[in-house]
Amino acid sequence: MRFLKFLKKEILHILHDSDSLLLMVLFPFALTLVLGSALSGAFDRVVNMPQISLPIVSKGDMQSSLFINQGRSAGISFHETSLKDAKEEAKTGESDGYITLDGKGVSYYTDNPGSISAMVVRTYSGIFAKQATMANLAAQKGKLDLIAPRMGNYVESQGIDLENEPSSFGYYGITMLTMIMMYGAIQAANMMDLERKERTYQRLKTSPYSMNGVFLAKSGVSVLALLVQAAILMITNRLIYQVDYRNMLMVTLMLIPYALFCGGLGLMMYQVLGNARSANSVLNLLIFLLVFIGGGYVPLSIMMPGAANIASYSPVGLINNGLFDYIYKNDLASIIRAMAVTGGLGFIMLAVAYMLYRKEEGSNRAAGY
């Protein structure tokens, strides 16, 4: 019963600090809007089909006219020119290459054979060549009804969606969530410092309250507060930005070990350094580094191509990648690994914080003097 009363007191302390509660929700919400809007182009996973315009050198016969006219339905615009002018256009960069069409067939000359434009032109030329061959065979067999090509706009050119990946708002809907939970470490340190600041620690030591219960209540409430704030932020992002979390209840459960890590980090730093001011200074720097390495502010692949694997060295990066894999690929392997790592580190840090807390129970520093 005494433990529950103390637990209630800690919850009321958090609820009365409305400014901190609003900041923990509004700050990542606003930052998601700013970064999601500013970097929306960097998260565009759709490759648009190019508008292709090429010079063509031909004999001007009916076969050439068919090749040019049917090319429009494939999204290719040909303009007839001389071989000299076609080579000049390719040399100056006005075009990606040029086409020659003669009795030997279709030839495509380009310096960039691996481009999407080259792929489209090669595909169209190959189809046209096969169609011409079939027409010749039909003429030889006397099947005149099969000679004329069957015209029609049967193809619609659209962009290619490479894979199921988050948009800019989807990305920051996750990374800002894990970032603000990291700042919950400072919230946990300040919660532990509350008794010293209000000079109530000495009275607690002489009261019937168990000091084990005091530590358990403070650490438990710090973790619970982080999960509640995370749930509120997810609901807000879902309603306003349409961020997909697949299953918000499942994501909240997945964040429990990470919340333990964040709370344990704050409590351990506070116990090691002995006061909230020093702990907050170190935590601010450490949180920035962990979030940056974990790709929280900008994906490392954008800033330093090939450096995306660095994120796996940060607990923040582990949890981010795990959530992305779960939400967009329905893959649980990486999130389970992230939960094991962050939960294990959190438990170790909480154990260290508890041992230091018990060790200093009789000291003047613990009493707030």
Q: How many C-beta neighbours within 10 Å does residue 143 have?
A: 11
CB 320, CB 311: distance < 8 Å: yes
Q: CA nearest 125: which of 70, 180, 164, 57?
A: 70
* Residue 220 pLDDT: 87
* Residue 10 pLDDT: 58
| Distance (Å, whole) CA 310 – CA 2 | 47
* Residue 264 pLDDT: 95
81-98: average pLDDT: 82
Residue 155 has pLDDT above 60, yes or no: no
pLDDT tens for each residue of 293-348: 998 888 877 776 666 678 788 899 999 999 999 999 999 999 999 999 999 999 99
The domains found in the chain, sorted by start residue, are 2-44+165-367 (no CATH), 47-161 (3.40.190)
Residue 225 has pLDDT above 50, yes or no: yes
Q: Strands, E, within 81-211: which ranges?
A: 97-102, 105-110, 160-161
What are the residues whose beta carbons fall under 8 Å from the beta carbon of 121, sequence distance 6 or more? 52, 54, 76, 97, 99, 108, 110
Task: Round the average pLDDT of the chain to a whole number and report it.
Answer: 79
213-224: average pLDDT: 84
Higher pLDDT, 30 or 182: 182
208-220: average pLDDT: 76
Max mean pLDDT range (78-92, 141-155, 219-233, 350-364)? 219-233
CB 319, CB 232: distance < 8 Å: no
Its pTM surpasses 0.75: no
Give CB contacts under 8 A, 24+ apart, made by 149-154.
149/66, 149/70, 151/70, 151/73, 152/73, 153/73, 154/73
What are the residues whose beta carbons fall under 8 Å from the beta carbon of 52, sequence distance 6 or more? 75, 76, 77, 96, 117, 120, 121
| Distance (Å, whole) CA 346 – CA 152 | 65
57-65: average pLDDT: 76
| Distance (Å, whole) CA 267 – CA 216 | 11
Q: Strands, E, within the chain: which ranges?
A: 46-47, 52-58, 76-80, 97-102, 105-110, 160-161
What are the residues whose beta carbons fall under 8 Å from the beta carbon of 293, sequence distance 6 or more? 300, 310, 311, 313, 314, 316, 317
Residue 70 has pLDDT above 70, yes or no: yes
DSSP bridge partners of 46: 161
Give the three-class secondary structure for 327. Answer: helix
Please report, for residues 64, 87, 120, the alpha-carbon distance to residue 83 in angstroms, rounded to integers and kept in the order given.
15, 6, 22
| Distance (Å, whole) CA 156 – CA 75 | 9
Q: CA nearest 222: which of 181, 281, 279, 276?
A: 181
pLDDT tens for each residue of 16-25: 565 566 667 7
CB 192, CB 350: distance < 8 Å: no
3-state class percentages of the chain: helix first, strand second, coil last, to nearest 5: 70, 10, 25
* Residue 105 pLDDT: 73
pLDDT-based confidence at residue 352 (cuts at 50, 70, 90): very high
What are the residues whose beta carbons fall under 8 Å from the beta carbon of 46, sequence distance 6 or more? 159, 160, 161, 162
Structure token pair of residue 183? 């700042």
The single-letter code of the amino acid at 19 is D
